[in-house]
Amino acid sequence: MVKAARVRDGPIYPHRGLLLDTARNYMPLKVISRVLDGMAASKLNVLHWHVVDTQSFPLEITRVPELQQFGAYHPDLVYSRTDTQNMVRYARLRGIRIIIEIDGPSHAGNGWQWGPMSGLGNMAVCVNQQPWRSYCIEPPCGQLNPLNENMYGIMKEIYEDLVEVNAPEETIHMGGDEVFIPCWNRTEEITRRMHDTGFDLSLRSFYKLWAEFHQKNLDSWDNVTQRQYATRNQVPKSVILWSSHLTDPEIITEHLPKERYIIQTWVESDKTLNNDLLLKGYRIIVSTKDAWYLDHGFWGRTEYHNWKKVYDNRMEVHPLVLGGEVCMWSEFVDQTSVESRIWPRAGAAAERLWANPKLSSLLVQTRFLRYRERLLSRGIRSDAVIPKWCVLNEGQCL
């Protein structure tokens, strides 16, 4: 029996996250709560909540009820304002931040289609267009209209709601990936306005339009947060964007100031983007696509990443590497299977983000099997990774 001990422990990275997509398939609060329980037991401290997308807009925005009315799969499949506040409290009691992502300009469609009937014009374009391959990366299509000022007004209303339901110090994720330029280029309303305002239809012009979209929303975010928390004398908050064509190292400094944008990268481990962005002084959050995308292996040509692959994804220790996230996209998972798709693999990333050990997965297998047993004891549905015999006979299956 140990009578006394001194334990020194602390995380290598401040941002240790899990992305949960509840837009493609709705997840009940009880499921999200169990995910938060698993995160707390694994020293993960950020839930990146991808709550809206082209498929659905299930988040209640009290200032703009039309978003959920037109965007939710069903009136019962909505996260009310109270639900969100309770989720934030539940998470904070477990040492977890919730970063809400309102994606744009891409990954936005259903929920935004009511503009014309309200006299606000087309706030989103290409919504549910077919054939979808001509208008988007995946169906259904939809992309916000960067030349509709009413759309920016609605985005500001969304931000007003978010700062009221989330923690005062919290930022937001603005999405920004997979913008499909042909959607805008095939929308006569947009191309006509571009010509009228001096734009040509070159890729460079569309990138400028895309960057202006982010800047206008950033201005709205600053206005909302500085007014809400005027007594705090806060420096304007940085926001998070996905890596994209706009974050290409050759052009990023033209469009996205490093003082205001944190870039979440989602490239394969052999790509140089992370180092390229670090050299330019950008802060990054890493989501290695060929190791930390937990949805892979269930669609297309993607390959499943077992816990060993997740664990062996080593991170660079650098002041500008804030941390990383494993990503649970939900196109091919729902409430019946999401927990076992996340756990115990997310725990392998959690140790990487907490300690970034030099050990390989082979040397930690025994501990990992025990960790999975602890998750089960907490009521967290965690996928099997080895026969029970190997758990009962430690070291015999290495």
- Catalytic residue flag (residue 188): no
Report the C-alpha dihedral over residues 211, 215, 220, 225, rounded to 10 degrees. Answer: 120
**Rounded-to-integer distance, Cα 146 and Cα 149, Å:** 8
Q: Considering Cα of 62, then 32, then 290, then 263, what sign does the dihedral take?
A: positive
φ and ψ of 378, to 5 deg: -90, 0
Which is catalytic among the residues 138, 157, 164, 178? 178
User: Would you tell me how many other CB atoms lie within 10 Å of the CB of residue 304?
Assistant: 11
Specify the 3-state DSSP secondary structure of 326: strand
Are 89 and 160 within 8 A, CB to CB?
Answer: no
What is the strand order of the sheet 284-286 is part of?
A: 97-101, 46-50, 15-21, 321-328, 284-286, 261-265, 239-242
Q: Is 361 exposed, middle or buried (0-12, 13-18, 19+ CB in 10 A)?
A: middle
Q: Is 386 left (phi over 0), alpha (psi -120 to 50) or beta?
A: beta
Are 275 and 304 within 8 A, CB to CB?
Answer: no
DSSP 33: H
Using alpha carbons, list the distances in angstroms from residue 88 to 33, 162, 170, 173, 393.
10, 11, 11, 16, 41
DSSP 141: P
Q: Which of 120, 173, 109 minimizes the C-alpha distance to 143?
A: 109
Are 292 and 324 within 8 A, CB to CB?
Answer: yes
Which H or E run includes 39?
helix 29-40
Label each residue of 225-244 as H, E or C.
HHHHCHHHCCCCCCEEEECC
Specify the 3-state DSSP secondary structure of 97: strand
Residues identified as active-site = 178
